Structure formats: structure tokens, C-alpha cells
Amino acid sequence: MSDKTTIHDIASMLRVTASTVSRALNDHPKISDATKRRVLTAAKKLNYQPNNIAAALRQGKSKVVGVLVPTIDRHYFSSVIHSIEAVLNDAGYHVIVAQSHDSPELERAKLKALMQAQVAGIILSFAKQNTDFEHFKDIIDRDIPLILFDRYHESLEVDTVVIDDYIGAYKATEHLIENGCTSIVHFTSTSQISIYKERKRGYIDALQRHGIAVQDELIWESHLTLEDGFELGNRLLSESKAVDGVFSASDFAAIGAMQAIKDQKGNMVRPIKFFGFSNETFTQFIDPPLSSVDQLSHSTGEMVAHRFLERIQHPHQKSLTMQKTVLTPKLCIRSSSQK
């Protein structure tokens, strides 16, 4: 039979009421052990599968958490989601995935849809060009736990899990200096986005701390794509300056540049050391393997999931105690940056 059995079926089979069955299944203390056992046996016999939707309706909360990211199709995000799913599943939650495609409008629409699905919480890395955060108010007002990761904004009084871009950049730059680089170019993107601002700040501070003058003409801005990197690589070759190191805020731009240089190896005066950011899967496979700052996607996902579970278990504290977790990224040092 495909007819789903309900607690009422169990109830009538046992000549008790549905409330008793419900309580028995939920291990309510006021139900006798004998009845609990009978209910459990009957449930198994009838192949009873609880209807979570009914419970969710009654309780006003489902066991589903919405995760909204720009795109799932990038290693960092899918890796974070991987960890979130693993942790939340063990806690009895499901994960709904939605993508904003970096569009604020889509983001708003998807958030609305998630709310309508009565999610128990929302985990979010928001769209790039977000300027207005009004739509988060709705979530907070309804006391639905909201956790941000990767991308966030200072103005938001919300739990956040990020890596310390500044430290990562600082250490990467320092590593280049310690490996003999004295003239280091920085590939960056618009300072509108905090992660790039922070990475630039780390780069600058590292130089200064090591007594190297910061030169604006060594800070190159682009969209940091592979193609951008390729152009920047050619620019490196044509520069009169004796650049001997590159700290790129993106792995893609870094390997684009390395590609350009390899293509014209003859022109190289001296070798240029490279350090990237994100530790994309391919960094270890290219030639030479690219040193990179690892964003700790695994830990981030776990932290985010745990933060959510804490919120769910202590809903009373509300937004009063917003927590910002900052993970220190890890340098993955490979041959591209070493002597």
C-alpha cells in the first residue's frame, strides 16, 4: 500500500488516542513505558513515517535551514555547504540551497521564498553589490536565526563567521619578503568589497613592517579573472621595474599571470615569486604549484552550523549578543613562492 500511516492508525490499532501515540513517540515522561513499547512496536509494524510537515505547521518551525550563496558552483561555497550539511544533518536538520547569482534582487526574492518555506534559520553569504540591508530586518524581526559567512557588513548586528583576510594577506606578503622579494606587486579588486580592502591593508602593513616602501604604482586593480591575470602578467614583463614578487588577492589572476610569463619565458630578467588567495583545487596541480592562502571552508562551514544550532537552542538571547567569529587563514606554501 502506498497509503501513509499516521498516528491515528497506530492509535486505533492500539485503542488509545492520537495524543498518546504522539507523546509516546516523543518519549514524553508522562507516558508509561509499557505503552511506549506498544506504540513503538505498532509503529514499526505499520511502517509509520512521521509527517514532518504536520509537526512543522503545529510548531511553527520546520527542521529546514536555508543556505543562500552567490553560487554553489565554486569550490569555496560548495565546500562550506558540504560541511554545513554534514553538521546540521546530525542535528536532524535539512539544508535548502539557494543561489543569488550575486544579484541583490534575486537575493531578496530567494530570501522571501526561504521565509515562506518556514525555514528554521538562514545562513547567508550575500550578493556582491549589496548596498541595502533592509531585507535582513524581516528575518531578524521574526527571530529567525541568521548567520553570515565570508561576506558581511559591519553595519549588520548579526552572527558572522569570516576569515581574517588582513592576517592572511599580511602573512603571505611577509612570506614573500622572507623569501627574498623586495619589489612586490599586489593584484587587487575594488576596495568597495571589504575582503579586498583587508587584503590590501595586510599587504601594505607587511611591507611597512619590513621597511619596504609602499608604492601605489605596484598595486594593480582588476576583476581578478584568469584573463585579467594574463594581461597583468604581460604588464609584469614589460615593466621596467624589477618586480620580483606578486601577491594576488585571487588564485585565478595569479595563474593567469604565471601563464603569460611562461609563454614568454625568454623575456624574463629574473624569476618572479607568486602567492595567491583562496587555495583553489587547481593551485596544487599547476606548474609550479601555487602558494595560496587557504580560506578554511571546512572550518567555516562547521562554525556556521554550530553557531546556528546555538541560536536555535537559546532563542531568548536575541541579537543582543551578536558574535563575530574570525578564523585565521592558513598559508599553503608551495614552490611558486620559494627560493
Residues that bind DNA (CB under 7 A): 4, 6-8, 15-20, 22-23, 25-26, 30-32, 34-35, 48, 50-51, 54-55, 57-60
117 near its own copies, judged by CB under 8 A: yes
Q: How far is the CB of 75 from its own copies (least distance, A)?
A: 7
What single string gives the DSSP state of each residue in 35-92?
HHHHHHHHHHHTT----HHHHHHHHT--SEEEEEES-SSSHHHHHHHHHHHHHHHHTT
Footprint of its own copies on 139-178 (CB under 8 A): 141-143
Q: Choose which of 53, 268, 322, 326 interacts with its own copies (CB under 8 A).
A: 53
Pairing relationship of beta strands 330-332 and 291-294 according to DSSP bridges: antiparallel
50 near its own copies, judged by CB under 8 A: yes
Q: How far is the CB of 314 from DNA (least distance, A)?
A: 18
Count of CB atoms within 10 A of residue 144's CB?
21
For residue 44, how far is the Cα from the chain centroid?
40
d(CA 58, CA 2): 25
Residue showing cell 614589460? 238
Number of residues that bind its own copies (CB under 8 A): 49
333 binds, among its own copies, DNA, none (CB under 5 to 8 A by kind): none
Q: How far is the CB of 67 from DNA (least distance, A)?
A: 24
**Judging by beta carbons within 10 Å of its beta carbon (0-12, 13-18, 19+), is residue 234 exposed, middle or buried?**
middle
Footprint of its own copies on 96-115 (CB under 8 A): 96-99, 110, 112-115
Q: What are phi and psi of 190, to 5 degrees?
A: -55, 140
Footprint of its own copies on 2-21 (CB under 8 A): 2, 4
Taking alpha carbons only, the member of 57, 64, 58 closest to residue 121 is 64
**Interface mask toward its own copies for 256-295; x: CB under 8 A:** ------x-----------------xxx--xxx--------
Which residue ranges make up the site for its own copies (CB under 8 A)?
2, 4, 49-54, 56-57, 62-64, 71-73, 75, 78-79, 81-82, 85-86, 89, 94-99, 110, 112-118, 141-143, 255, 262, 280-282, 285-287
